[in-house]
């Protein structure tokens, strides 16, 4: 098993790209820290109860909380698999935790999207609470408005997808997550793709880069 890290601002398309690639390639596994945390919140686990208020305000949850979840998923993943790790690490301390886990990091691919585009992307995002498929009301609409193409569930707007929280999430991204770009560049692992060119193009560029 090895790991490809997805880097990029909230709403840059990390989940969309990783989901599309994992659906098309048996040896790619999409692991989203946000989905793990939202799952824990929905189930009402102790970790979910701790994470809820951080997530709703757009802040990062404590490193140890998310690191435990990621370690569990890494431990249960075996064989000839590349894990597309979406949302972890989110700061330099988490990058060190990942390095200590010992699973080789093949590359860290930055999906580059300017902040001006992010607000529109997130304002139009709709997600399936059941199968986690993601949509956009204009860029990637479902076949039937408000209904998931994959499983038929009613689509929802995420609680942290309001304009005020998105602003806070961008501040957190620039302060805490952006330093990872230099961190992985120094290790010779950084690749960058233009995230503004449409979902299929970005997915193809990502696959070539990783």
- Active-site annotation, residues: 14, 90, 125, 158, 169
Give the residue closest to ligand AP5 by C-beta: 34
d(CA 6, CA 26): 18
Give the chain's radius of gyration (CA, Å): 16
d(CA 178, CA 181): 6
Choice from 29, 30, 90, 132 touching ligand AP5 (CB under 6 A) = 90
Closest to 108 measured CA to CA, from 122, 94, 120, 119: 94
Q: Can residue 48 be called a binding residue for ligand AP5 (CB under 6 A)?
A: no
Instruction: Report 95-114 residues binding ligand AP5 (CB under 6 A).
Output: none
Interaction pattern, residues 150-179, with ligand AP5; x per rule: CB under 6 A: ----------x--------x----------
Choice from 33, 109, 180, 206 touching ligand AP5 (CB under 6 A) = 33
Q: Which residue has the tokens 């997130």?
A: 122
- Interacting stretch for ligand AP5, rule CB under 6 A, among 20-28, 33-41, 143-151, 184-192? 33-41
* Shortest distance, position 80 Cβ to ligand AP5, whole Å: 26
Q: Can residue 135 be called a binding residue for ligand AP5 (CB under 6 A)?
A: yes
Residue 23, number of CB atoms within 10 A of its CB = 12
Choice from 29, 30, 121, 132 touching ligand AP5 (CB under 6 A) = 121
Phi, psi of 145 (to 5 degrees): -55, 130
Cis previous bond, 31, omega within 30: no
Q: Are strands 125-127 and 134-136 parallel, antiparallel or unpaired?
A: antiparallel
Q: Which residue has the tokens 């988490």?
A: 94
Residues in the site for ligand AP5, rule: CB under 6 A? 8, 10-16, 33-34, 37, 54-55, 58-61, 66, 87-88, 90, 94, 121, 124-125, 134-136, 139-140, 160, 169, 195, 198-199, 202
């Amino acid at each position: 098993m090895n790991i490809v890290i997805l880097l990029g601002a909230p709403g840059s398309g990390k989940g969309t790209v990783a989901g599309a690639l994992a659906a098309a390639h048996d040896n790619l596994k999409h692991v989203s820290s946000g989905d793990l945390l939202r799952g824990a919140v929905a189930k009402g686990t102790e970790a979910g109860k701790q994470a809820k208020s951080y997530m709703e305000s757009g802040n990062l949850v404590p490193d140890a909380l998310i690191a435990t979840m990621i370690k569990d998923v890494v431990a249960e993943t075996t064989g000839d698999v590349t894990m597309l790790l979406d949302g972890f690490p989110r700061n330099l301390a988490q990058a060190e935790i990942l390095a200590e886990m010992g699973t080789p990091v093949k590359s860290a691919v930055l999906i580059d999207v300017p902040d001006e585009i992010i607000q529109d992307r997130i304002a139009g995002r709709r997600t399936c609470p059941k199968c986690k498929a993601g949509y956009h009301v204009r860029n990637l609409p479902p076949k039937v408005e408000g209904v998931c193409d994959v499983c038929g569930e009613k689509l929802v707007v995420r609680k942290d997808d309001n304009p005020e929280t998105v602003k806070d999430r961008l501040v957190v991204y620039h302060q805490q997550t952006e330093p990872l770009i230099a961190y992985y560049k120094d290790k010779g692992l950084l690749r960058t793709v233009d995230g503004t060119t449409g979902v299929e193009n970005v997915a193809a560029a990502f696959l070539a880069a990783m």
